[in-house]
Structure 1
Amino acid sequence: MTGSQRRVVVVSAGLSEPSSTRLLADRLAAATVADLHARGVAASAETVELRPLAHAVVDAMLTGFATGELADVLDRLYAADAIVISTPLFTTTYSGLLKSFLDVLDRDALSGVPVLLGATGGTARHSLALEYSLRPLLTYLRADVVPTSVFAATDDWAAGEGDDGGGLAGRIARAGRELAERVAARGPAAVHDPFASVADFEDLLPGG
């Protein structure tokens, strides 16, 4: 394989353990990495579970600063070449935990970053929730969201693994391929510096 290794950071907003949300996240990441490897691009994926970070996320919202493990997670997210987001749906929208996490990100952190969206829910009636709730949010953050998002209803998990078309397995493969295409087409991610636009203190002093 050629080039520097690309990093896919997976954000799982599942609230139970284990969760179908994490399962979907892992499968989306695996499909992306496998497609990158098939293109001769070295890649790896790491998963961030938001559930253990819930208190730290709330603290960061209240104070304006992330500390400890959350700060480390944000540093890894800012250095990612691609991001996979997987969330459960509640009352036809993404989880409050995911929204809170996105709220503590630097406002430019996701600009231009390839992002794949996934969600889990009870029935296929909620399958469009990703398109009218989460996709607009990520578009507002100027992320490069791939066309195919993947919704997995409870019945989808029992449909079998042999599908390569419109079923869950086929949608996962297609979405992973689209994300891999975006990653392969761009150079390795530059490390995002949230303080890059902050003026130097000396420049603010009279005569500076």
Structure 2
Amino acid sequence: MKLVVVSAGLSVPSSTRLLADRLAAATADRAPAEAEVVELRDLAVEIAHTFTNGFPGRKLSAAFDAVAAADGLIVVTPVFSASYSGLFKSFFDALSVTEEDALAGKPVLIGATGGTARHSLVLEHALRPLFAYLKAVVVPTGVYAASEDWGAEGLDGRIERAAGQLAALMTGLSTAGRPAGEGAQEAVTAAVAAAAGRPVAEADGIVPFAERLAALRPAG
């Protein structure tokens, strides 16, 4: 299996890259995956050119290919103005323009770093909706690391839990052969349930839309 890590850190060294590396290492401990890191800092110019000329450069195209071919993704961004960074969003915007369904059905672990714990909801208010829109399967646990979290209790546990969920989801979908069409939703639901440590019947209370619609129709 192939694990791709997308890091949007700008500084060297970067706490964003550090979190990404720890998540990748914890995931690799649980699943036989080969990890590849995509540093968006090195692709900033090509990302900008993609929006003006419509074509990704050589390095950016290789990064897109890696993401599209991955069995699982770890994505980590620094928090800017209470949301993901512009570089992070631009990369995935350019990816979706180049290949609209590149992330469809792909397991994704979301992470973010910031100077204060007050921005921790960026995971739920910004990153999770973004990747849901891109049709990815986002693992239940996201990991946010504030400055005070490094070396403190709690961060290691969140990393381990999130990594375990991503590994379970990657392994489950790989075993299911990434089915398309009929049966695909059942396979994803089962893998998500396993990743969250819940029975399939409890996996987010999923009821097919057709069944909900039929229940609203008057009898006879």
What TM-score bracket applies, with the shorter chain setting the length?
0.7 to 0.9
2-side partners of 1:130 and 1:64: how far apart? 30
Q: CA deviation at 1:91?
A: 1.2
Unpaired runs of at least 5, structure 1: 1-5, 37-41, 191-208
Q: 2:62 aligned to 60, 72, 83, which one? A: 72
2-side partners of 1:187 and 1:130: how far apart? 26
- 1:182 alignment counterpart: 169
**CA shift digits 1:101-156 (9 cap, x unpaired):** 00111220000000000000001111111100111011000000001000000000
- 2:133 alignment counterpart: 140
Unpaired runs of at least 5, structure 2: 179-220
Which one-letter code corresponds to 1:139 in the other structure? A
Three-state SS of the structure 1 residue aligned to 2:29 is helix
Three-state SS of the structure 2 residue aligned to 1:111 is coil
Q: Does 1:114 align with 2:107?
A: yes
Q: CA deviation at 1:186?
A: 1.1
Between structures 1 and 2, the one with greater helix share: 2
Query: Alignment RMSD, CA only?
Result: 1.3
Three-state SS of the structure 2 residue aligned to 1:108 is coil
Q: Does 1:127 align with 2:116?
A: no
Q: CA deviation at 1:27?
A: 0.5
- 1:58 alignment counterpart: 48
2-side partners of 1:70 and 1:185: how far apart? 29
Deviating runs (4+, > 4 A) in structure 1?
none
Three-state SS of the structure 1 residue aligned to 2:33 is strand
Q: CA deviation at 1:46?
A: 1.1
Three-state SS of the structure 1 residue aligned to 2:130 is helix
Percent identity reads 56
Aligned length: 174
Which one-letter code corresponds to 2:37 in the other structure? T
2-side partners of 1:13 and 1:144: how far apart? 20
Between structures 1 and 2, the one with greater strand share: 1
CA contact (8 A) 1:61 1:103 kept: no
1-side partners of 2:104 and 2:53: how far apart? 24
Q: Does 1:170 align with 2:163?
A: no
2-side partners of 1:26 and 1:43: how far apart? 14
Three-state SS of the structure 1 residue aligned to 2:125 is helix
Q: How high is the TM-score relative to the length of structure 1?
A: 0.81
Q: 2:30 aligned to 25, 35, 41, which one? A: 35
Q: 2:7 aligned to 9, 12, 22, which one? A: 12
Which one-letter code corresponds to 1:46 in the other structure? E
Q: 1:26 aligned to 21, 27, 42, which one? A: 21
Q: CA deviation at 1:100?
A: 0.4
